[in-house]
Each structure stands twice: as C-alpha cells, then as structure tokens.
Structure 1
Amino acid sequence: MHGTVAMMRKAAVRAGGVLALAALCACGAPAAREDGALRTGRAYAAALSARDYPAACRLLAPVSREQLVADEQDPCGPALRSLGLPAPGAADGVEVYGRQALLRMKGDTLFLSLFDDGWRITAAGCDRQGGDQPYDCLLKGSG
C-alpha cells in the first residue's frame, strides 16, 4: 500500500509539472500570434511601399484576393494597384483574438486571419467609423 501511495504522489507531481509547463506555453502563444500578425502586416506594407503588388497579393487571404479580382475585373496585382491603398507605416498596435487580428499601422488598419500556412490580410485600407459602426475598408474579404 505504501508503494502505491508513493507512486501516486510521483504521478501527481509529474502531472502538476506538465500542467505548469502547459500553462507557460499557453501564455507564450498570444505573443507568437501577435508577432506573426505583425510580420505579415509589415511584409504587406513593404510590398505596397515598393509597389510590388504581386508580393502584396500573396499576403492576402484567398477569399479577399478572389473578391478583389471579381470586384475590379482584373488580376490581383493590377486590381490592388487600382484601389490606391496607402502604404502603411509603422505598427501602432496589434490585437489578436484567437485566429483573427486587428493591426493598426500609421495610415491604415489591417484585419488578418490565421490560416494553416500563416497570417493573411483579410481587409485593408480600413477607416474607423464613429460610434459602434464597423470599419469601412477599401479591400474587403473574409477569413
């Protein structure tokens, strides 16, 4: 009986250590998601600044890219260029909610979604409306 109690205590200590480690890993997860969203937003801003519209298109969510092409009746690069989106400046802040992110940058607000292959821009060229109104975005899509 004494051996069984000792084994149970060891198992409880191990389980407690695993739970503590899992809690620590969970705390780091939001920071990793924030970093990923920031990297994508910065890459998108750099592509727009360089007028590298094909590179910017590769950072768009599939549905957003499809919507842009359908709306503008042009391939993604020329369609994106025709929107006249501002090249965003430095990041002012990022908020991550699970697999969705809001990235405020100087001159633009971006919405992103996390896909299997990383973060993608779902909406750009967004201006905040007054009160409880949603953002008004030049590039719209879905995650």
Structure 2
Amino acid sequence: MHKVIGSVIAAAFLVSVVGCAADSPDAQAAAQAFVTTAAAGTAVEACALLAPRARDALGPAGCQPALATVPHAPVVSASVWSDEAQARSAADTLFLHEFPDGWRITGAGCHPRNEQVYDCTIGGR
C-alpha cells in the first residue's frame, strides 16, 4: 500500500512540474542581446536575432525602422515552456522560439491587451 501511495505522489509531482515554466539563461541572454543591439542601433545584428517570420512580417520597410520603436530596458527574467519562451523587462515583454541554431525573437515591444493576448511592435504572440 505504501508503494502505491508513493507512486501516486511521485506521479502527481511529475505532472505538476511538467506543466510549469522554467527559467532559461539562454533565452534571457538571447532577449538581452536583441535589446542591446537594438539600443546600439546595430540593425544588422539585431535583425539577425529575429525569427524569420517576425523579420518577414516587417515588410518592405524592413527591420531597422521597427527597432527604433522597441523599448531598450534590460531583460530581467525569462520563462521557458519547451521551445517557447517569454522574456520580461521593465518596459515590455519579448517572445522567443528555440530554433536548431538557438533562440530567436518572435515578438518584441509587446504589451498585454488582456490575459492572453499581446500587442507587439515586432512580430506577435
């Protein structure tokens, strides 16, 4: 009987942990690199950190004009769910996706519209 109870408790613990977000220094570092390069005005480097879909969505004007509208506050945290992440600064939220070659920004300059929807300057969520 004790073995069954122990197994049930262990299974419940695993289910609760799997659904939770974890901190990710890699995702946070990628978000900070984007914010830093955007603030420095190095558009080529900052735009290279965008996910292809976010970069393509900027249209013919390209990436550089959009970078001027992204807040440049330091990233203070990042939470990861599998290959998706959310990074937060004091000024905005960034969304990331992990590609084979590393984390890329899928949304930047994002502010919550409600509990589940964000309006983003670049990309979206």
Task: Decide: shared fold, TM above 0.5.
Answer: yes
Post-superposition Cα deviations, 1:79-98, rounded to whole Å, max 9, x if no partner, equal 434x62221x2223211000
Secondary structure of 1:41's aligned partner: helix
Displacement of 1:62 in angstroms is 0.6
Instruction: Write the letter of the residue equivalent to 1:129.
Output: R
Q: Which runs of 4+ in 1 moved over 3 A?
A: none
Matched with 2:38 is 48
Secondary structure of 1:46's aligned partner: helix
Asked if structure 1 preserves the Cα contact closer than 8 Å seen for 2:108 and 2:124, the reply is: no
Percent identity among equivalent residues? 35
Secondary structure of 2:120's aligned partner: strand
Matched with 2:11 is none
Matched with 1:101 is 85
Q: TM-score, normalised by structure 2?
A: 0.74
**Cα pair distance change 1:35/1:129, threshold 3 Å:** same
Instruction: Write the letter of the residue equivalent to 1:37.
Output: A
Measure the CA separation in 1 of the matches of 2:62 and 2:94. 21
Q: Which has the higher helix share?
A: 1
Q: TM-score, normalised by structure 1?
A: 0.65
Post-superposition Cα deviations, 1:50-106, rounded to whole Å, max 9, x if no partner, equal 1111111000001110111x2xx22333x434x62221x222321100000000112
Asked if structure 2 preserves the Cα contact closer than 8 Å seen for 1:63 and 1:141, the reply is: no
Measure the CA separation in 2 of the matches of 1:141 and 1:63. 10
Displacement of 1:46 in angstroms is 0.8
Give unmatched runs, 5+ long, in structure 1. 1-29
Instruction: Write the letter of the residue equivalent to 2:89.
Output: M
Q: Which has the higher strand share?
A: 2
Displacement of 1:125 in angstroms is 0.6
Secondary structure of 1:107's aligned partner: coil
Secondary structure of 1:96's aligned partner: strand
Give unmatched runs, 5+ long, in structure 2. 1-21
